[in-house]
Amino acid sequence: MSELARIVEALLFLSPDPVAPSDLAQAAGCDDDELAAALAELDREYAPGARGLQLKRVAGGVALATDPLAEEAARRLLAKPRTPPLTPAQAETLAIVAYLQPVSRPEITRIRGVAAESATATLEERGFIEEAGRSQFGAILYRTTDLFLRLFGLDSIKALPSVVEWDPTPDEEAELRDRLLRAGEQRAADPSAA
Amino acid sequence: MSELARIVEALLFLSPDPVAPSDLAQAAGCDDDELAAALAELDREYAPGARGLQLKRVAGGVALATDPLAEEAARRLLAKPRTPPLTPAQAETLAIVAYLQPVSRPEITRIRGVAAESATATLEERGFIEEAGRSQFGAILYRTTDLFLRLFGLDSIKALPSVVEWDPTPDEEAELRDRLLRAGEQRAADPSAA
Amino acid sequence: MTVASLDLDLDVFSGPFDLLLTLVLREEIDLLEVQLAEIVIAYLDHLEQRDELDLEVATEFLVLIAALLELKSRLMLPREEEELLDFEPGEAAEELLARMLEARRYRRAAEHLSARLAGEEGIRYRSAPLPPALRRTNLADAGAVYAPARLGRAIGDLLRVPPRLNLEHLTSARVTVAERLTHLRSLLRRGACTFDEAVRGADRVTVAVTLFALLEMYKQGEATWTQPAPFGEIAIRPGASPPRHEAAAL
């Protein structure tokens, strides 16, 4: 395979969308004829039935796409909820949303004492939590999803275990939300916990 | 190329993360030996220098990645800047996390002798490290991520050289000790040096 | 300003104070070559220009400079002052050595990691959204993979406030310039005194802070001092200016 064909192959691999041949030529630093030759080389390489990928000409240009042969396996691998073990930050964030919902991100941050941005984004991307309107101050509110209930084997949010079992100070009367916020602020104020 | 190798190639193309061989086997509906044979076939196909792509073993899985040959063209096409190299402070902090994980920021500070706050924040933002729970005093512990393994071309954290390898040689240690003692002798000989 | 950004222009070093600390710990500057008195003078010059004393910053500076002094004195292993050190000289050198070796170990590991990252330069992975057909997940396929107890435990942990640590062994909060100013002023109200009297029974940090307070009083004209010979007794007398009202001075 020529060096130019190898470069074009890498470019098509990286592009999420079809690429116009002129853009390919410009990026690879070649002229249109050289690019056409490289694409012809790739066409031979990716002849139907030869590989798991195909070289396709579509409206926007050229693209690599998977052979339909792999469709079923792809669905088994990818079209299912992603459920890797939760990181501690994700578990904390998810617990706060589950018990206090709807809850805003600033509140989550105050309770945790550290920013919850990436954990919130991951939980949202995996479909465990979703937006639920805005607070009176304009912050996005979060709640858990039906997928969350299924993945935790819960019939409804009411079936969440009572916190009593893990509560370090079960005698306190105040509402869970107030107590969490107060504990978070105390942790943030204590330099030894920083 | 065998049908199984074609399917595996397509799965690797689609998957956003490195895929564990067992997951590939399950999705493709084959046993481990068959999968190993398919991967061997792909290894031959993607032999170094053969194509614009390479087959990598990283973060406990298999992944397709570009050959550096295409980097310049990729930068032009995708307008994505090159990954900035690590600053010395970031590299040191990352090394401490990689070898001592899970490790807290106060511990990193103790070893480095300077505050690690901004280095830790940058490494977290770049996705190289993540939270891994809290110490008994409430300090956040850090560990490296799968993205770290991928970007540093490591199959697992065990693939890093043993930390003993970075220890100074007995000669160097003796030299350092000597320097410290010599300083004391100078002081004794010339009290006005203080 | 913070102490960290204090600009220094020394014989062996020019730059901010925190960088100097780093370089000393990295052995890139030999502490033995740093004249610590120059740093103190640079700090006093800075105060002179600002014409005000931020007591919090001043205390931080004193703690840092005291740490450097301690490190330097350990490096020099002064035989005649052995009893002043908490450690046996050999022990102090070993402790310092162990810290330097540990820092060196991770500095080398860091070089290895940087080289590794550079070696992977130009290797890119694909990041593209899944084709639409693969994006829909079937809720019915989702089984219970997580334990609800994990969430309860996380909330319990978040309700926990760590016990207050005993920080008394740290020097930082033990003594402030303000306290030592008050102490010196009360001594001077009764007339002259010596520095030794002002710091009788005090630890090293307190001595350093007291000296600093005295410098400040000298600058304001509240006190004058004389020392006939190096290492001789320092005599302190009330100065020409009356003490400012304490509340205003602080």
At residue C31 the predicted structure's pLDDT band, cuts being 50, 70 and 90, is confident
Search chain B and give the residue with CA nearest C231: B192
- Nearest-angstrom CA–CA distance, B91 and C93: 28
User: Measured between alpha carbons, how far is C26 from C19 in angstroms, rounded to an integer?
Assistant: 10
What is the least distance, in Å, from the CA of A34 to any CA of chain C? 23
Closest Cα partner for B147 from B104, B71, B83, B100? B83
Nearest to B153 among C105, C114, C119 (CB): C119
**A139/A105 Cα distance (integer angstroms):** 7
Coil vs helix vs strand at B151: helix
**For C19, which residue in chain B has the nearest alpha carbon?**
B114
Q: Give the count of Cβ contacts less than 8 A between chain B and C.
A: 151
Nearest to C162 among A94, A184, A187 (CB): A187
**Entry field: residues in chain B:** 194
Q: Which two tokens stand for residue A152?
A: 């935790």
Scanning the structure block, which residue is given the tokens 């590991």? C109
Chain C partners within 8 Å of A190 (Cβ): 161-162, 164
Chain C residues in contact with B91 (beta carbon < 8 A): 110-111, 113-114
Answer whether A165 sits within 8 Å of C159, measured CB to CB: no
Enumerate the residues of chain A whose CB falls inside 8 A of the CB of residue C123: none
Residue A193 Cα distances to A156, B63, B113, C127, C157, angstroms: 35, 40, 19, 38, 13
Q: Has residue C16 got a pLDDT over 90? A: no
**Residue C12 CB-density burial (10 A; 0-12 exposed, 13-18 middle, 19+ buried):** middle
Q: Does C115 touch chain B (CB under 8 A)?
A: no
Subunits close to A (at least 3 CB pairs below 8 A): B, C
A87–B132: do the CB atoms touch at under 8 Å?
Answer: yes
Residues of B with Cβ-Cβ distance to C73 under 8 angstroms: 194
**Do C97 and B151 lie within an 8 Å CB cutoff?**
no
Model confidence at A81, in pLDDT bands (50, 70, 90)? confident
Reported pTM: 0.62
Of the candidates C114, C120, C162, the beta carbon closest to that of B91 is on C114
Nearest CB among A71, A152, A186 relative to C148 is that of A152
CA distance A44 to A29: 22
Q: Do B52 and A194 touch (CB under 8 A)?
A: no
Cβ within 8 Å, pair C77-B99: no
pLDDT tens profile A17-29:
899 999 999 999 9
CA distance, residue C113 to nearest chain B CA (Å) = 7
Q: A153 contacts in C (CB within 8 Å)?
A: 143-144, 146, 148
pLDDT: which is higher, C1 or B66: B66
H or E element, residue B56: strand B53-58
Query: How do residues A109-161 score in pLDDT, each as one tens digit?
Result: 999 887 778 889 889 888 899 999 998 888 899 999 999 999 999 999 999 99
CB contact under 8 A, A176 and C155: yes
Ranking B128-132, B182-186, C123-127 by mean pLDDT, the lowest is B182-186
A142, with CB counted inside 10 A (0-12, 13-18, 19+), is buried
Contacts of residue B3, Cβ cutoff 8 Å, sequence gap at least 6: A69
Cα gap B111→A89, rounded to integer Å: 25
| Shortest distance, CA C134 to any CA of chain B (angstroms) | 10
B82 or B192: which leads in pLDDT:
B82
pLDDT-derived band at C46, boundaries 50, 70, 90: confident
ipTM: 0.75
Cα separation of C244 and C88, whole Å?
45
- For residue B165, CA distances in Å to A91, B168, C221 come to 37, 8, 60
What is the mean predicted confidence (pLDDT) over C160-174?
57
Q: List the strands of the sheet with B103-104, edge to edge.
A: B103-104, B140-144, B129-134
Beta bridge partners of C225: C236
Question: What's the CA gap between B149 and C126, in Å, rounded?
Answer: 16
Note the pLDDT of residue C80. Answer: 47
* CA distances to A120, B73, B79, C90, C225 from C144, in Å: 21, 46, 42, 61, 79
Q: Do B134 and C130 touch (CB under 8 A)?
A: no
Cis peptide bond N-terminal to A102, omega within 30: yes
Distance CA B118, CA B92 (A): 12
The pLDDT of B60-85, averaged and rounded, is 88
Give long-range contacts, CB 8 A cutoff, 24+ apart: C52-55: C53/C177, C53/C216, C54/C1, C55/C176, C55/C177, C55/C178, C55/C250
Residues sharing a CB contact under 8 Å with residue B170, sequence separation 6 or more, in sequence order: none
Nearest Cβ partner of A151 from C133, C142, C156? C142
Contacts for C158 with CB less than 8 Å, ≥ 6 apart? A92, A95, A96, A111, A112, A180, A183, A184
Of A151, A139, A147, A145, whose CA–CA distance to A109 is shortest? Answer: A139
Contacts of B191 in chain C (CB under 8 A): 78, 80
Q: Is C173 on the interface with A (CB under 8 A)?
A: no
Say if CB B145 and CB B128 are below 8 A apart. yes
Query: How far is Cα of residue B124 from the mean position of the Cα atoms in its chain?
Result: 13
The DSSP output letter for B87 is P
**B122 pLDDT more than 50:** yes
Q: What are the backbone dihedrals phi and psi of residue C125, each rounded to the nearest 5 degrees, phi first? A: -105, 155
Which residues are within 8 A (CB) of B147 and not within 5 positions of it... i.e. 6 or more apart? B59, B127, B128
Return the bridge partners of B58, or none: B61
